């Protein structure tokens, strides 16, 4: 998956999705390099940019700066695979007008369509086109200007290269240059653009060039598959002539078909006289006798026979595959009798095939008759049809599908025509359209039966053009149309693709590329009738269509018309500000929304004359291009036919009388209203009124609001439609009081316009013979820019305030009659306007966008004079934990809780992250209906929560709280509908500032790291905090730089060291917050790699002070309630001290730091601080090593149900020793679980209570690895003079060097499971079920447990890689990858193991011993923290295996990291979970974010 990000629509970035990270991905595009020309087939490879210059791919991207309009392709491949996926990029043109080349934004466009043939001579065009200029349009769309065909249809072009001679007066020959001069004059002097149609799909049937080049159409030579359809067409013509001549009158079918009875007779005669006589099935059939004779000569063979169609489509000339026939019907015996049997069998099969062919043709006939009858019913009987009258040769029964450029002749003679290629090539298929057809299929090509089934709605004046797939297939046609395109692009700013959905895509692509070479910023519009937005998108992207034509006439009522306004453009009022760089998301095509198109029904006929003004007002308020057709504004009461209309458009004359038919002005029709609306439309787009709200006030009345998000001005139009004529339809009296509350408006500044359609004293409409005239007896009364009290439509009510920010102006609609429109200019009340301005001033420190509309507050609170980044720079990371995070349990410990939205749910955090997580979920969708937004609109509770929560803290946090409180004062005094978007802006800006403050206090690894590194580093702030009660035991008073605070209860000074929570939300507070094992598995990643050295030191020393029996506690319990029941925590602690010494500058100084011991002896109670002498840390370290070598064996203090109600008595006995022979640390028993896999059974139903699921007694592999690492390190430290002890003592001194050597020599001997079944080191070969791996333990009380495949040996590989032979380690890692690696984590047990269960459900209590009460916690569920160790081990040993293996491993690591990154981004907790169920499924019993999960992934990134 390749993800796209866009910035301001001119800068495009390609980022790698999770499935591609780590792979060698190459991205190619045909978007031209700077200074190069576009060539569609020329692709170039884009370069990758990695801003952080790190190995992970989270920030890696390649980019394109898009400046050249058009449609461009991109594709990407992986490795040696050239194309793995791809798509299209559409770049909109930049349109310019006037001498100053001022930009015309797409949403500003107001276009008017003109039928070119109705403009008269070119010299008169300006007078006629001035109508568009004077009524406020800024674009003119011309139908084709070329010479027209015999039908005089605007879209039937006789010669694509010749200007229509009608445009040249007698004695003059105008050229395309004259047209170009005119369009240029209009562009520069009138500030208007001109566009025109291009028609690629057909040419006029009487085009001279098609006679000379018949190969350019579908004829019976190059398309012989059309022969049956052509014969049917001719038969229907002769049948039609016979009807016209009265030959079927005696049969009940005269030429005038006027009722259903005659339709029934027609249907019967079609069968008898046409279809049965033609025997068209013979074109599908074969000659049985001939085929059998051929078969007789070549007997052999089987499978299914198919008819092979004769390429020339002759009757009974199809064949079958004789080889296949032989396989099916042949016999391997000799003799005439046997051959005859085979032939008879074959003949019978052929006859059956012929029957099938007959049935197929019969179904085509049935469809054809239905289509013919349907056409006749529409054209001759239907009230809404053209009612053509009698069948004649001029108006035949049905339109002919093919040209026939010959004298009339008989069917027999016509049959001879198709035998002669010189004649047959001139029998060309007409074009048309097919209802419901696939627009990507060419209905004239082989495989389509549209012509045969009479499914084509045929344009009998045009010939369908046959391009083939490339210019070489029809050179003349491609060259001709290329020149046509060049002429058009030279003289016009844009094109409308006529019949776009039926134009072959590859042809349109080619021609538009030609056009863009001549005019790079070509504006392309089209009207698509695909019926599918998905199909629309194919045309849009491949052709680079700028705007899709949409029409208000498609709406059946005012409600639907209003919905179209909302659908085709703009954001909701009060929308959120989106980031500059954001993911590209699917959106609907830019619209050109017209009140009516030039080839559609007349709105006055379909609706009423009174609807013209309100409907065009609704259209004008859409946030997209808008427009109309010449004649709509003049109230022409009929359709202006693109085929039959020959009259001229009236000219402009400001002094013309209403009765004038040849001149018009603003007194004509609704033209004055249209001028005002066009000006308003353009103003709204230019001034950034991008937000839209549509409100259906009643069945006929629609209010549309356009809102500017920077000034918060609004314009509201209220339009009362008249879909039914008020003169015949009873509309209710409109005296309804409507409160336009601040969601629509606050304070009415002015009435921009009020207008209504009225009758005037004038003669009734009479259709003029020379000019296209409108209805003179209707006009628009309009008043512009008046005060509310001067309005004749509405009356002002009371102005009231509702709360602090709700300003309500009541208005009464008194004369909003059908056909009326009123538009208000609305602004916030003065106080709200000021508050928004002050607020935008504060927000401008986060985003320059807010400079617009900002105001300076002369009484600004002092705290707001200080930049927020300065205030936040004073916060410690512990304080930033409070500002950004803290889950509900942490908040409750402090007497509060996370903010709860009553109608929804509580937020995940009390800090800013809780709000940001929710906002980032619905902001991209602008989901203003979200319960979060409702809560903000309804009251100040959430706002007050944010500020008061921080104000209740002390120090620098209180100052930040004051800043929020002050800025929220502005927020509380703006209209409630704006609160969500401004709250979002404040929170997001503050959050970004806080995150910057975090990174500024962290290591260069984080500061220079990738986005993934930074997001993971936030986990350090998430997990590390200080609660109400200190979690860590106190440090030595002699230690420097220990943070202190004043206890709010005792008023005494107390230490307040940061502690590390194991996971949220379950392990976040109280005695369950800190765990020795979890802390020190996570400490390197979350604290050392992030640069939190002092806090890491304090945690190491605090745990050192709790050492007891040579162990540090598992559950810390603030030291006094500690449990010393784990064997591994002390080794993780030692590993962290080693890491501290290696990572921190002068890190070995920690060894000299004083440690206050809580337990000076094994039997002592916890001692208060200062009652025991301090020891340096190195002494405590030595004690841990010494006690292990001597042997640790004790019973937990207070053993029994008071500390563990599940554990059996034997489980409280703790043992940890060193095997003197192997050097391995071992311990535990079958009733306790001293490693991280520590699930104790607790189900009575399943009888597993008190039984550990994974005791892992003996020598656990990761403890052996950790102890080896510690011993090796202490040996080296002693040799370097940094550690005073060289040995430990039992009965004799055992040096660290000897201990190190002992482990080294014995590890693989006892842990490796060899491929060799006779390996002398293997004590239990019968238990080996996976070879070439390392045991999970050695010496377990249940020997089979040693042999289970688990991920723990990968930990040993990282901390003590010297224990492993490279080849063996690599093989073992491959098995782990194959069997244990999941989407996010590592399976904790081999899925092939009998007790594997991958779904953890701690609430389930049944009789299943292996699963009840979550007994399988570590028996399959996929834990995340081991994945870090697996990946680090993989990287380490891959380097040893060579470059190829290393590259493969880097890909694997990046791929896993990308999946983790995806989870991290999507998680509202902004963390990585403790575990997942099998195959990465969500586990509801897992911590949502876990310290060690985040830490080990950070360590992997550090290793990369």
Largest CA distance in the chain: 131
17: its two tokens: 């999705």
Do 52 and 1007 touch, CB atoms closer than 8 A? no
Burial readout 320-339 (b: 16 or more C-beta within 10 A, e: otherwise)? bebebbbebbbeeeeeeeeb
- Interatomic CA distance for residues 137 and 190, integer angstroms: 10
799: its two tokens: 């102005």
Query: Is 1407 annotated as catalytic?
Result: no
Do 346 and 329 touch, CB atoms closer than 8 A? yes
- Interatomic CA distance for residues 1364 and 1272, integer angstroms: 15
Do 158 and 204 touch, CB atoms closer than 8 A? yes
CA-nearest of 671, 805, 703, 701 to 746 is: 805
Do 1066 and 1486 touch, CB atoms closer than 8 A? no
**Residue 348 per-residue DSSP state:** H
- Interatomic CA distance for residues 107 and 686, integer angstroms: 8
Grouping H, G, I as helix, E, B as strand and the rest as coil, residue 818 is: coil
Do 1162 and 1194 touch, CB atoms closer than 8 A? yes
Do 626 and 594 touch, CB atoms closer than 8 A? yes
- Look at the block and give the residue holding tokens 């011991």: 1157
Q: Is the dihedral of CA 184, 186, 190, 192 positive or negative?
A: negative
Q: Which of 57, 536, 595, 599 is catalytic?
A: 599
Query: Is 599 annotated as catalytic?
Result: yes
1373: its two tokens: 């890692």
CA-nearest of 706, 1039, 993 to 871 is: 993
Do 946 and 965 touch, CB atoms closer than 8 A? no
- Interatomic CA distance for residues 1096 and 1137, integer angstroms: 9
Alpha-helical (H) ranges within 668-732 are 671-686
CA-nearest of 289, 301, 288, 291 to 332 is: 301
The values of phi and psi at residue 792, to 5°, are -100, -10
Q: Which of 26, 501, 590, 930 is catalytic?
A: 501
Residue 759: partners with Cβ closer than 8 Å, 6 or more residues away: 777, 778
Residue 1243: partners with Cβ closer than 8 Å, 6 or more residues away: 1249, 1405, 1406, 1412, 1413, 1415
Distances (CA, A) of 96 to 493, 589, 727: 9, 22, 46
Environment class of residue 1185 by beta-carbon count within 10 Å: exposed (0-12), middle (13-18) or buried (19+)? Answer: buried
Q: Which of 57, 59, 498, 611 is catalytic?
A: 498
906: its two tokens: 């509580």
**Residue 363 per-residue DSSP state:** H
Query: Is residue 1118 left, alpha or beta, with left meaning phi > 0 and alpha meaning psi from -120 to 50?
Result: left
The values of phi and psi at residue 1261, to 5°, are -60, -40
Distances (CA, A) of 1179 to 580, 587, 1128, 1146, 1284: 57, 67, 20, 19, 9
Grouping H, G, I as helix, E, B as strand and the rest as coil, residue 428 is: strand
Do 717 and 823 touch, CB atoms closer than 8 A? yes
E strand or H helix that includes residue 140: strand 139-142
β-pairing verdict for 547-551 and 523-526: parallel
Burial readout 203-212 (b: 16 or more C-beta within 10 A, e: otherwise)? bbbbbebbee
Looking from the CA of 1330 toward its CB, the CA atoms found within 13 Å total 27
451: its two tokens: 């012509």
Q: Which residues are catalytic, by number?
A: 498, 501, 599
């Amino acid at each position: 998956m390749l993800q796209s990000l866009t910035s301001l629509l001119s800068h495009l970035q390609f980022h790698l999705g999770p499935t591609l990270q780590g792979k060698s991905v190459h991205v190619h595009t045909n978007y031209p390099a700077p200074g190069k020309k576009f060539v569609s087939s020329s692709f170039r490879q884009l370069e990758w940019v990695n801003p952080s210059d790190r190995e992970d791919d989270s920030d890696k991207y390649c980019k394109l700066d898009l400046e050249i309009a058009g449609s461009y392709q991109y594709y990407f491949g992986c490795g040696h695979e050239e194309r793995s996926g791809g798509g299209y990029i559409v770049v909109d043109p930049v349109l310019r007008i006037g001498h100053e080349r001022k930009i015309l934004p797409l949403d500003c466009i107001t276009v008017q369509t003109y039928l070119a043939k109705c403009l008269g001579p070119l010299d008169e065009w300006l007078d006629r086109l001035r109508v568009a200029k004077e009524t406020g349009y800024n674009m003119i769309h011309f139908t084709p200007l070329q010479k027209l065909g015999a039908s005089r249809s605007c879209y039937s072009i006789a010669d694509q290269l010749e200007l229509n001679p009608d445009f040249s007066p007698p004695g003059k020959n105008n050229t395309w240059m004259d047209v170009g001069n005119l369009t240029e004059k209009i562009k520069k002097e009138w500030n208007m653009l001109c566009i025109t149609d291009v028609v690629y799909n057909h040419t006029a049937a009487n085009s001279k060039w098609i006679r000379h080049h018949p190969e350019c159409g579908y004829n019976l030579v190059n398309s012989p598959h059309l022969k049956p359809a052509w014969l049917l067409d001719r038969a229907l013509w002769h049948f039609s002539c016979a009807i016209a001549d009265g030959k079927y009158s005696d049969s009940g079918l005269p030429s005038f078909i006027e009722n259903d009875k005659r339709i029934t007779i027609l249907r019967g005669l079609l069968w008898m006289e046409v279809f049965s006589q033609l025997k068209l099935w013979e074109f599908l059939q074969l000659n049985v006798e001939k085929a059998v004779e051929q078969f007789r000569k070549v007997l052999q063979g089987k499978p299914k026979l198919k008819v092979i169609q004769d390429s020339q489509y002759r009757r009974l000339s199809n064949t079958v595959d004789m080889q296949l026939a032989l396989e099916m019907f042949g016999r391997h015996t000799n003799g005439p009798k046997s051959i005859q049997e085979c032939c008879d069998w074959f003949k019978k099969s052929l006859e059956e095939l012929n029957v099938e062919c007959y049935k197929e043709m019969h179904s085509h006939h049935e469809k054809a008759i239905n289509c013919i009858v349907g056409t006749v019913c529409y054209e001759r009987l239907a009230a809404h049809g053209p009612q053509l009258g009698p069948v004649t040769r001029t108006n035949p029964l049905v339109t002919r599908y093919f040209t026939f450029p010959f004298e009339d002749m008989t069917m027999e003679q016509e049959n001879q025509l198709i035998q002669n290629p010189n004649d047959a090539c001139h029998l060309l298929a007409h074009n048309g359209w097919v209802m419901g057809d696939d627009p990507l299929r060419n209905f004239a090509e082989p495989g389509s039966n549209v012509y045969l089934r009479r499914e084509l709605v045929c344009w009998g004046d045009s010939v369908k053009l046959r391009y083939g797939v490339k210019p070489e297939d029809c050179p003349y046609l491609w060259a001709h149309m290329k020149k046509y395109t060049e002429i058009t692009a030279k003289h016009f700013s844009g094109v409308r693709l006529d019949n776009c959905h039926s134009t072959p895509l590859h042809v349109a692509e080619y021609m538009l590329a030609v056009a863009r070479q001549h005019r790079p910023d070509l504006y392309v519009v089209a009207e698509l009738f695909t019926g599918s937005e998905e199909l629309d998108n194919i045309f849009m992207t491949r052709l680079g269509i700028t705007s899709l034509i949409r029409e208000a006439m498609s709406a059946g009522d005012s409600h639907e018309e209003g919905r179209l306004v909302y659908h085709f453009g703009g954001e909701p009022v009060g929308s959120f500000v989106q980031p500059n760089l954001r993911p590209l998301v699917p959106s609907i095509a830019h619209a050109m929304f017209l009140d009516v198109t030039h080839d559609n029904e007349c709105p006055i006929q379909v609706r009423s004359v009174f609807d013209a003004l309100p409907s065009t007002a609704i259209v004008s308020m859409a946030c997209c291009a808008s427009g109309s057709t010449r004649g709509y504004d003049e109230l022409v009461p009929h359709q202006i036919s693109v085929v039959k209309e020959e009259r001229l458009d009236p000219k402009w004359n400001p002094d013309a009388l209403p009765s004038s038919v040849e001149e018009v002005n603003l007194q004509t029709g609704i033209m004055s209203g249209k001028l005002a609306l066009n000006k308003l439309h353009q103003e709204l787009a230019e001034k950034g009124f991008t937000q839209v709200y549509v409100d259906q006030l009643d069945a006929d009345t629609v209010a549309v609001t356009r809102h500017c998000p920077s000034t918060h001005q609004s314009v509201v139009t209220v339009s009362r439609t008249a879909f039914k004529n008020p003169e015949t339809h009873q509309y209710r009296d409109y005296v309804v009081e409507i409160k336009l509350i601040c969601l629509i408006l606050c304070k009415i500044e002015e009435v921009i316009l009020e207008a209504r359609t009225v009758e005037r004293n004038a003669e009734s409409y009479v259709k003029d013979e020379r000019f296209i005239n409108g209805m003179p007896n209707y006009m628009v009364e309009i008043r512009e820019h008046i005060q509310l009290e001067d309005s004749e439509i509405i009356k002002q009510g009371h102005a009231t305030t509702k709360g602090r920010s709700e300003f309500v102006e009541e208005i009464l609609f008194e004369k909003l009659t059908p056909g009326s429109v009123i538009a208000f200019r609305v602004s916030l009340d003065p106080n709200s306007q000021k508050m928004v301005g002050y607020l935008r001033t504060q927000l401008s420190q986060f985003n320059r966008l807010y400079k617009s509309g900002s105001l300076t507050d002369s009484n600004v609170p002092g705290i707001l004079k200080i930049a927020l980044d300065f205030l936040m720079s004073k916060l410690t990371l512990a304080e930033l934990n409070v500002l950004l995070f803290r889950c509900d349990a942490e908040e409750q410990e402090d007497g509060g809780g996370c903010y709860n939205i009553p109608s929804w749910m509580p937020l995940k955090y009390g800090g800013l992250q809780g709000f940001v997580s929710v906002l980032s979920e619905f902001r991209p969708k602008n989901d203003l209906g979200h319960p979060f937004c409702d809560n903000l609109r309804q009251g100040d509770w959430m706002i007050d929560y944010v500020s008061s929560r921080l104000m209740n803290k002390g120090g620098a946090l209180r100052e930040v709280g004051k800043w929020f409180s002050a800025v929220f004062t502005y927020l509380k005094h703006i209209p409630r509908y704006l609160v969500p978007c401004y709250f979002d802006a404040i929170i997001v800006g503050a959050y970004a500032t806080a995150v910057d403050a975090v990174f500024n206090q962290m290591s260069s690894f984080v500061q220079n790291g990738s986005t993934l590194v930074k997001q993971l580093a936030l986990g350090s702030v998430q997990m590390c905090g200080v609660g109400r009660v200190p979690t860590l035991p106190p440090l030595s008073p002699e230690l420097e730089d220990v943070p202190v605070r004043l206890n709010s209860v005792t008023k005494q000074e107390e230490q307040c060291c940061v502690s590390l929570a194991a996971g949220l939300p379950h392990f976040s507070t109280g005695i369950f917050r800190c765990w020795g094992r979890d802390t020190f598995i996570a400490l390197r990643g979350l604290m050392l790699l992030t640069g939190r050295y002092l806090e890491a030191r304090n945690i190491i020393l605090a745990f050192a002070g709790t050492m007891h029996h040579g162990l540090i506690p598992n559950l810390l319990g603030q030291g006094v309630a500690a449990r010393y029941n784990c064997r591994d925590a002390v080794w993780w602690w030692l590993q962290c001290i080693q890491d501290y010494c290696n990572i921190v500058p002068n890190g070995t100084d920690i060894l000299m730091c004083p440690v206050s011991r809580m337990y000076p002896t094994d039997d002592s109670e916890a001692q208060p601080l200062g009652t025991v002498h301090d020891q340096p840390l190195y002494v405590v370290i030595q004690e841990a090593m010494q006690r292990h070598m001597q042997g640790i064996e004790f019973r937990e203090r207070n053993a029994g149900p008071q500390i563990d109600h599940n554990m059996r008595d034997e489980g409280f006995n703790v043992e940890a020793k060193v095997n003197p022979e192997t050097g391995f640390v071992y311990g535990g028993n079958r009733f306790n679980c001293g490693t991280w896999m520590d699930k104790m059974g607790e189900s009575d139903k399943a009888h597993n209570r008190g039984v550990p699921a994974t005791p892992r007694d003996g020598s656990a592999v990761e403890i052996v690895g950790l102890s080896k690492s510690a011993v090796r390190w202490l040996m080296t430290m002693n040799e370097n003079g940094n550690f005073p002890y060289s040995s430990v003592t039992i009965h004799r001194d055992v040096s660290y060097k000897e201990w190190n050597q002992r482990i080294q020599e014995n590890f693989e001997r006892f842990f490796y499971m060899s491929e060799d079944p006779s390996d002398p080191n293997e004590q239990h070969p019968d238990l080996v079920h996976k070879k070439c791996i390392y045991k999970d333990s050695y010496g377990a009380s249940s020997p089979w447990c040693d042999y289970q495949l688990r991920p723990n040996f990968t930990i040993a590989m990282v901390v003590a890689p010297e224990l492993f032979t490279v080849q063996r380690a690599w093989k073992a890692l491959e098995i782990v990858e194959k069997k244990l690696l999941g989407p996010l984590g590592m399976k904790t047990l081999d899925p092939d193991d009998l007790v594997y269960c991958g779904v953890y459900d701690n609430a389930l209590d049944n009789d299943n011993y292996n699963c009840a009460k979550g007994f399988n916690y570590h028996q399959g569920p996929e834990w995340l923290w081991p994945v870090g160790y697996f990946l680090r081990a993989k990287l380490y040993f891959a380097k040893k295996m060579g470059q190829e293996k290393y590259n493969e491993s880097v890909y694997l690591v990046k791929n896993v990291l990308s999946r983790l990154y995806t989870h991290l981004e999507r998680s509202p907790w902004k963390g990585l979970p403790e575990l997942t169920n099998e195959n990465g499924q969500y586990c509801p019993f897992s911590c949502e974010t876990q310290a060690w999960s985040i830490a080990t992934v950070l360590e992997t990134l550090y290793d990369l």
